[in-house]
Structure 1
Amino acid sequence: MTTPLKPTFAKNRLAAAVTSVMLGVSFTAVAADETKAPEDDAFETIVVTGTVGGRTQIESAVAVTSIDDEVIQNFKPNSEVELFRLIPGIQANGGNGPGGNANIAVRGLPVATGGSPFVQIQEDGLPTVLFGDMQFGNNDYWTRFDASTARVESVRGGTAATFASQAPGAIINYISHIGDVEGGYVGLSTGIGYDEKRVDFRYGGSASDSVIYHVGGYMKTGRGPLDDGFNTSESMQLKANLTKYLEDDESYVRFYLKAADTQEPFYTGSLAYANISNNKISDVRPYPGMDGRSASNFSTLNQSFLIVNNEGGVERVNMSGITTEALALGNEVHYVMENDIMVDNKMRWTDMSGAFTEPFHGPGMTSNVIGSTVNGSVVDAIRYANGPMAGELYNKPYIDTNTNVRTDINDVGSFVNDLTISKEFALDGATLNARAGYFYMNQKIAMDWHTNRNFREAGSSNPAQLDLFDAAGNQLTANGLAGFNDNWGDCCARVYDLEYTNTAPYVALELELDDFIVDGSVRRDTIDASGYTVQSSGESFDTVIDGVAIPTLMADGKEEYPDYSESYTSYTFGGLYKFNEDTSFFVRTSKGNRFNSDRQTVSGKIQPDGSLTQAGRVAAVDEVNQHEIGVKNRGDLGETDYTVEFTLLKGDFTQSNYEPTSTPACPNGGCILDNEYRTVGFEFYGTLRWDALSVIANATYTDAEQKPNGGTWGPANDIPELTYAVTSSYEISDQIRVGLNMSGQYGNRNGAGVETENKPIFGGNISYRPTPNLEFAIIGQNLTDEFALRGLSGVVDADNGVISAQPVLGRNLSASVRLLF
């Protein structure tokens, strides 16, 4: 049984402090306490953060969404990108797995290179990393949903550009439980038919009459629904906070702690069969020997491999997927001064590092390897290098020639602080709310790359390594290894230690006149770049492995020492008209910006003195323009209550960037991309409650186009025309509850313009509480076991209908038991 905490001197505001609202919708550029709306009226949720004054959601001229933790748990996302499918406007392609590395677009603004350049992921109102598209360091590596999270909230467009840096498209904010409601739980879950064990826990309560606290987290181990042949999941996370309320009942000081040590796989795809006609594929089905619904490209025969490190030594590393280590300490102060001037300050120091160690999937025709020149000799034969068929000839039609990659993420630590001062002024017949703030963040990015050329079996689960031989029988590779640090040429044997400091003053004003509310805000960002980058000279030497000379590149060549500063201005203006207490209309226009950080390096855009070339200055900052018109309505149809938010969208941006790795826009790596993009569409978010039934639905439609430098307009890459998700819950009795969810996408094309087939994916859950403190549950994904794609890497063999794709997980079930207290 949980009871709200009420310290002895608390008044109404503290009694209504931050709570979880299942169907709530709110703005969260900076997280803070909020007043809970009645459960049957989500639009009455008070929006007090990211705007200049506390208003209800229906009175706020922004597109915002909040997803409650219970909804997320019942949806059972296997990664953060799957969780984001519950948020309108967020278009996350691919089925990347729990490690991350997803390309996260927003409102049809494509991801031209990788990561999430226009979307910032926050925890409790501060960014986990400053840039969402760091190379081999995307922002979805560093945040994990767990029991400590009360809800995940998002704002798209508009004030995201002025209340946060590097977030012109959207902010996604993970808001923690704070212990204002006493209680918690311990939950144990296990995969049914696959190896995965997880413990989730949280507890919050009162430490004294004026102090509340919360602690939560998870531990996880196993091979996951895609049997990788060995444990690829070994993760833990602990988050805690403590809040001290001051004697005015409104001011407080809060302290945060986070410790994480995670290892999770990034799934890189599999072969599949499909019908291919007129640049469209249909009837997608598993490839014999490797069903991408249940098998991955990880293998017991490739669970470690050799690299040549920066000192020139040979080193063996584990195929550990994406690993992270983080320790974060934070502090938040909310202080009400005389004359109702409010001061808010948030601070976080983070020590963070990790590694990216993956077998990239890049199948091709075996016939294209036979007769080709590898390491100076013509390939005459291919043999199994290990496994039960070691030494035998390899005669399968397809072969995986992509890299075994190891990137050491030596340091992505940061220090961030956001200070704001706000006040409400009563004018003659109007109210003016004003806020001024100053943001500071220092972000380190230190990495070294090891991208080995590699050959392995394609179209088989647990793929073996393959060796190449010339006509004289000379071995050209060593256990599949063909080259150290040279898979993408001499660009990508590199080491760098970079530092970026982002400062940003910002000001916002909001004026209310009867049924009209108008607001505007402006932000001035300045980025200072420093550090160094070293890449290969292009001159290789041989490293002898098992008697085979393997060409090797080192980061021993061109050096760059960036030393430059860029400043830019973002702004937004909006207005809302309250038609009546149940309907409002809003309009908004905004110009946001984001800074290209480490992707500027090794691109010819940094001069010897550290300044940017003219092309570098053009490419340093991407400008995003967005316009939106929206309506919010609530009402009832008989005994059914509903809320609806519908927003029309239009946006554009121009990007000039360097892409060193292989992507759909840059198949062979090493491309300078100078493209224009534009999009129109809509977002929909709705809730419905009828007796014991509740339903939440979202959909995003975009007509996204791109124009390559000197080219013509055409469909944008990897942006589905339509994405959607529906979740529902029905309480059969006080003890039994069931749920069903559906998600999908339509009209997605890869970089070659090939459109993929689309199928909806269904999930479900059922829970049983024999007592108020004990709950048993079964949660399932892809209940119909569809072979459905979230991304298409490419067509491998058009004549025989073979593709390389990223299917969603096949049918998988987990069982759990929770003890609530």
Structure 2
Amino acid sequence: MKYLLATAAIAPLLMFSSATAAALSAEAADGAKPAAEKAVQSAGGKASGEAVFSTGVAKGRDRLDSATSTSALRASEFETYGARSLGEVLRNIPGIRAEYAIGEGNANYSIRGLPLSGAGSKYVQLQEEGLPVLEFGDMYQFTPDMFMRADLNLSQIETIRGGSASTFASNSPGGVINLISKTGDTEGGAVQGTYGLNYGEKRLDGDYGGKISDTLRFHVGGFYRQGEGPRDVGYTAYKGGQIKANLTKTFSNGYVRVYGKYLNDRTPNFQFVPIKVSGTNADPTFSALANFNPKTDSLLSRYTTNILKLDENNNLAQDDARGGQHAVVKSVGLDAQFDVNGWTITEKFRFSDVGGSNLTIRPIAVNQAAVLAVANGGAGSTLSFATGPQAGQAISSPATLNGNGLLTSSLQFDTKIKSLNNVTNDIRASRVWDINGGALTTTAGFYASSQDYATDLTFLNVLASVAGEGQATLINTRTAAGVPYTQDGYASYGLGNTFRRNYDMNYGVNAPYASINYHIGKIAVGGSLRYDMGKVRGTLFGAELGGGRPGTTSFDMNRDGVISTAETKVSYLPLGQPGHVDYDYKYLSYSTGVNYRIAEQLAVFGRYSRGGRASADKILFTPAVNYSTGKLVDDESAYDTVKQAELGLKYRISGLTFNVTGFSAKTGERNVQIVSGADGTAQVLNIVRSYEAKGVELEATVRKGPFSVNAGATYTDAKIASDALRPQLVGNTPRHQADFIYSVTPQIELKHVTFGANVIGTTSSFAQDANQLKLPGYKLVNAFVQVRPAERVELMLNVNNLFNQLALIDSEQPAIPATGVILGRAFLGRTASATLRYSF
């Protein structure tokens, strides 16, 4: 509450100060530094004196000279937090909403005020070395964070919220999150081992960098880990690692860097689980079921992971969900910058070969075992174990099964990557002109990318028990007459005419952009433009495309010569009836504002931006496309826009940094959302709506002697402004949007020991857009201690969720169901790890 009062008190002063500066752009020039010094800084070397920020802007510059809301999180900072995934790192950056209970990949990210109606990071671009990991942040089943890892290679993470992110990157109107690697400017490295004290994981990290000569340096690093992980699944769910390397050659007028990455890592996909709920929608109480703890358990187990399906050629195939989220990335890149005749030329290029798969089990309905038995076999049906130690045995007492008497109707997800390959190039030229005693910076650039989205997707329907500690099993049913209704736990080998899909798509993006900025004395004004031109080409297969395409067939899946009931419901691809996609789109983005540096320590800014986001795969298999011609039915379906206004204040003196930004955002959206229907089964909704949001964002750092504290908070007032398909939702608060989110990290650093806590929290939010069931607010405390018993030796202890709180981030159900059980997702319970590091 004290942070909310502080931001509320500052906001009127902020708006008054910034309004007097007008709504122009502020891409401030960084001055006429020697070319060699600028080259070293841009190449990842140490900046001399200024807090240089380079992500999402025309040129790297001091943050107090830029009309943008930015943050830079150094690796040394987030190492203390005990963050074990990228989502756990990003949750500490002000203005970023991170929902990462799913694990390392396919988490949800958004920037202040922008909605999380679907999955992934629709309005936010995740980058490495200034280029996108994937062109789109919310491709179905595969999002950028699945293909990137935080390890000892990282130097820092830069983020820009709103502002010029709209014009200096494509498909990123909300902001950009950029992971920047070390480049060997500091000689040395480290090796460390991490051990899960109360969960199964062992991990080894290492890195080293330094000079080869006066003009040549390198850095290399990576990790490998293995173990069951923090949830009880009964098998090795985490296995793999990453290696990254770069080589930098500096010249008198610039540098050239080549870099590469190989990632081959397997992590589990933790989906929704049954959670007990009581009380009222406005004041619910959530708790664990008998024999199932949502903080430590999952429906994943070695007894639920065998997958039997038809492949993309309609041939019998087998898979194993223990493969989880399997990310395989092989990439090479080039980063160069030179000063030529007064111009600074910057070139960034990367090719990434991206493959892998995403396999898991996801419940779509939960109920008493006897109820689901009737739904899957009729009155008088009986149950038996299909897999596990008791396979084949009858379940004589369904009401006491596993102590909770529950079954789930679940989906086995099996999505294979044929190609997520992408090629990206960004070239720009900037020049600073001396005009009437001021610096006029002009920048022009061209961005080009090619992004594949070629995947094969299968959903299969199974019955599964609700048992903790990796003991969930598949369940069979028989009719009252003794006829098998399921086969080996499968109610059907698909979902009829839905979600048996094959994509073979390519998205091409060409985007010229330019900015002009004038800096004189204390004021800097300017603006930037970007014109995105997209080409979408591809072929789709699936019965959902309509036109009489069949989606099910009979197939002898277990090769016993008999077609069972379940085997009459096998999804397959109508390979002779492809759907075509062939359309172009164009949109303009712009950003304009002003920055006024009142004093060396103080600056205010104002900015207005409009950015676009291509709809990409989210409009495929919807009525937005005519699949005979490949053209859009409505050209407006091709992209969504985000309009944002910002008014900010930045203050920096020795030992204190304080930034506050007031914001207003209007967002258009076409998306796909999965919710629970009235009968408890999952429904897929098409979304065509707009949102409005306003609020205040706060960031502060205080350092005095051995004590420091980093804090961030965001207050947001958001609503659904229009909805073409469900107008009854207009005026409601978007789902998962809390009024207030925050993080605070106090710590004390002494000669031989550092200790402190990282606290993250949020107020309550609504589970779904209907605004009925509330998800309670939470406060999670993560404690850390670092001991340095000898030179270059460090022992670190991290305890996440110290007080073992049950913190929910999601519920499929919009209201408390009659069963008193929802399908939800919760953050992990208490986990502790120890790390021993040796630096050299």
Output the TM-score relative to the length of structure 1.
0.91
Indicate conservation of the 8 Å contact 1:722/1:745, yes or no.
yes
Indicate conservation of the 8 Å contact 1:17/1:180, yes or no.
no
The structure-2 alpha-carbon separation of the partners of 1:793 and 1:78, relative to structure 1 and needing over 3 Å to count, comes to farther
- Residue identity opposite 2:226 in structure 1: T
The structure-2 alpha-carbon separation of the partners of 1:801 and 1:690, relative to structure 1 and needing over 3 Å to count, comes to farther
The structure-2 alpha-carbon separation of the partners of 1:191 and 1:681, relative to structure 1 and needing over 3 Å to count, comes to same
Indicate conservation of the 8 Å contact 1:796/1:802, yes or no.
no
- Residue identity opposite 1:762 in structure 2: V
| C-alpha separation in 2, matches of 1:122 and 1:635 | 30
* Residue deviations 1:646-694 (CA, integer Å, cap 9, x gap): 11111011223455x5579997444332111111111111111010112
| C-alpha separation in 1, matches of 2:100 and 2:491 | 29
Indicate conservation of the 8 Å contact 1:114/1:133, yes or no.
yes
* Residue deviations 1:74-129 (CA, integer Å, cap 9, x gap): 2122322222111111112351112x111222212112222111010000000010
| C-alpha separation in 2, matches of 1:141 and 1:196 | 19
- Offset at residue 531 of structure 1 (A): 1.5
* Residue deviations 1:55-74 (CA, integer Å, cap 9, x gap): 31112110000111122122
| C-alpha separation in 1, matches of 2:331 and 2:677 | 35
- Offset at residue 378 of structure 1 (A): 5.9
SS of residue in 2 equivalent to 1:229: coil
Q: Counterpart of 2:275?
A: 272
Q: Counterpart of 1:632?
A: 650
Q: 2:62 aligns with which of 42, 56, 63?
A: 56
* Residue deviations 1:13-57 (CA, integer Å, cap 9, x gap): 7679778xxxxxxxxxxx75465365xxxxx40235543344311
The residue correspondences of 1:681-760 to structure 2 (distance < 5 A) are: 681-706=695-720, 707-709=722-724, 710-711=727-728, 712-732=730-750, 734-751=751-768, 752-753=770-771, 754-760=773-779
The residue correspondences of 1:485-524 to structure 2 (distance < 5 A) are: 485-486=494-495, 489-524=496-531
SS of residue in 2 equivalent to 1:371: helix
Q: Counterpart of 2:329?
A: 326
Q: 1:436 aligns with which of 430, 435, 444?
A: 444
Q: Note the aligned Cα RMSD (angstroms).
A: 2.3
Indicate conservation of the 8 Å contact 1:591/1:623, yes or no.
yes
SS of residue in 1 equivalent to 2:778: coil
Indicate conservation of the 8 Å contact 2:277/2:816, yes or no.
no
The residue correspondences of 1:80-159 to structure 2 (distance < 5 A) are: 80-98=86-104, 100-159=105-164
The structure-2 alpha-carbon separation of the partners of 1:379 and 1:84, relative to structure 1 and needing over 3 Å to count, comes to farther
Indicate conservation of the 8 Å contact 2:364/2:682, yes or no.
no
Q: Counterpart of 2:553?
A: 541
Q: Counterpart of 1:645?
A: 659
Q: 2:420 aligns with which of 387, 407, 412?
A: 412
Q: Counterpart of 2:256?
A: 253
Q: Counterpart of 1:466?
A: 475
- Offset at residue 458 of structure 1 (A): 2.1
- Offset at residue 607 of structure 1 (A): 2.4
SS of residue in 1 equivalent to 2:555: strand
Indicate conservation of the 8 Å contact 1:582/1:635, yes or no.
yes
| C-alpha separation in 2, matches of 1:359 and 1:539 | 22
SS of residue in 1 equivalent to 2:213: coil
| C-alpha separation in 1, matches of 2:627 and 2:473 | 45
- Offset at residue 603 of structure 1 (A): 1.3
Q: Counterpart of 1:344?
A: 346
- Residue identity opposite 1:594 in structure 2: R
- Residue identity opposite 1:300 in structure 2: R
Q: Counterpart of 1:762?
A: 781
SS of residue in 2 equivalent to 1:679: strand
| C-alpha separation in 1, matches of 2:265 and 2:578 | 33
| C-alpha separation in 2, matches of 1:70 and 1:289 | 40
* Residue deviations 1:410-461 (CA, integer Å, cap 9, x gap): 1100110000000000011321011100000000010011100111012544
Indicate conservation of the 8 Å contact 1:158/1:588, yes or no.
yes
Indicate conservation of the 8 Å contact 2:58/2:168, yes or no.
no
| C-alpha separation in 1, matches of 2:817 and 2:72 | 44
The structure-2 alpha-carbon separation of the partners of 1:125 and 1:187, relative to structure 1 and needing over 3 Å to count, comes to same
| C-alpha separation in 2, matches of 1:716 and 1:797 | 18
- Offset at residue 799 of structure 1 (A): 4.9
The structure-2 alpha-carbon separation of the partners of 1:373 and 1:392, relative to structure 1 and needing over 3 Å to count, comes to closer
- Residue identity opposite 1:720 in structure 2: A
SS of residue in 2 equivalent to 1:158: coil
Q: 2:532 aligns with which of 525, 531, 534?
A: 525
Q: Counterpart of 2:5?
A: none
- Offset at residue 522 of structure 1 (A): 0.3
Indicate conservation of the 8 Å contact 1:16/1:34, yes or no.
no
Indicate conservation of the 8 Å contact 2:73/2:157, yes or no.
yes
SS of residue in 2 equivalent to 1:162: helix
Indicate conservation of the 8 Å contact 1:270/1:459, yes or no.
no
Q: Counterpart of 2:15?
A: none
The alignment status of 1:618 with 2:636, answered yes or no, reads yes
Unaligned runs of 5+ in 2: 1-32, 544-548
Indicate conservation of the 8 Å contact 2:352/2:423, yes or no.
yes
Range with bigger deviation, 254-263 or 673-682: 673-682
- Residue identity opposite 2:139 in structure 1: M
Indicate conservation of the 8 Å contact 2:354/2:421, yes or no.
yes
| C-alpha separation in 2, matches of 1:561 and 1:32 | 44
- Offset at residue 797 of structure 1 (A): 6.2
The structure-2 alpha-carbon separation of the partners of 1:350 and 1:762, relative to structure 1 and needing over 3 Å to count, comes to same
| C-alpha separation in 2, matches of 1:668 and 1:295 | 22
Q: Counterpart of 2:408?
A: 400
| C-alpha separation in 2, matches of 1:278 and 1:49 | 43
* Residue deviations 1:375-400 (CA, integer Å, cap 9, x gap): xx667222222224432223344221
Q: Counterpart of 2:302?
A: 300
Indicate conservation of the 8 Å contact 2:324/2:359, yes or no.
yes
Q: Counterpart of 1:175?
A: 180
Q: 1:36 aligns with which of 34, 38, 47?
A: 47
Q: Counterpart of 2:9?
A: none
The structure-2 alpha-carbon separation of the partners of 1:663 and 1:438, relative to structure 1 and needing over 3 Å to count, comes to farther
Q: Counterpart of 2:22?
A: none
SS of residue in 2 equivalent to 1:258: strand
- Offset at residue 539 of structure 1 (A): 4.2
Amino-acid identity (%): 27
Indicate conservation of the 8 Å contact 2:131/2:348, yes or no.
yes
Unaligned runs of 5+ in 1: 1-10, 20-30, 39-43
- Residue identity opposite 2:152 in structure 1: A
- Offset at residue 770 of structure 1 (A): 2.0
Indicate conservation of the 8 Å contact 2:304/2:387, yes or no.
no
The residue correspondences of 1:475-486 to structure 2 (distance < 5 A) are: 475-486=484-495
- Offset at residue 766 of structure 1 (A): 1.2
Indicate conservation of the 8 Å contact 2:541/2:579, yes or no.
yes
The structure-2 alpha-carbon separation of the partners of 1:94 and 1:773, relative to structure 1 and needing over 3 Å to count, comes to closer
The structure-2 alpha-carbon separation of the partners of 1:51 and 1:797, relative to structure 1 and needing over 3 Å to count, comes to closer
The structure-2 alpha-carbon separation of the partners of 1:316 and 1:784, relative to structure 1 and needing over 3 Å to count, comes to same
| C-alpha separation in 2, matches of 1:781 and 1:407 | 32
The structure-2 alpha-carbon separation of the partners of 1:373 and 1:477, relative to structure 1 and needing over 3 Å to count, comes to closer
SS of residue in 2 equivalent to 1:618: helix
Indicate conservation of the 8 Å contact 1:450/1:484, yes or no.
no
SS of residue in 2 equivalent to 1:760: strand
* Residue deviations 1:488-507 (CA, integer Å, cap 9, x gap): x4131111110011000000
* Residue deviations 1:141-179 (CA, integer Å, cap 9, x gap): 111111101111100101000000010001000000000
- Residue identity opposite 2:691 in structure 1: Y
The structure-2 alpha-carbon separation of the partners of 1:169 and 1:780, relative to structure 1 and needing over 3 Å to count, comes to same
- Offset at residue 518 of structure 1 (A): 1.0
- Residue identity opposite 2:222 in structure 1: G
Output the TM-score relative to the length of structure 2.
0.89
Q: Counterpart of 2:574?
A: 556
- Residue identity opposite 1:213 in structure 2: F
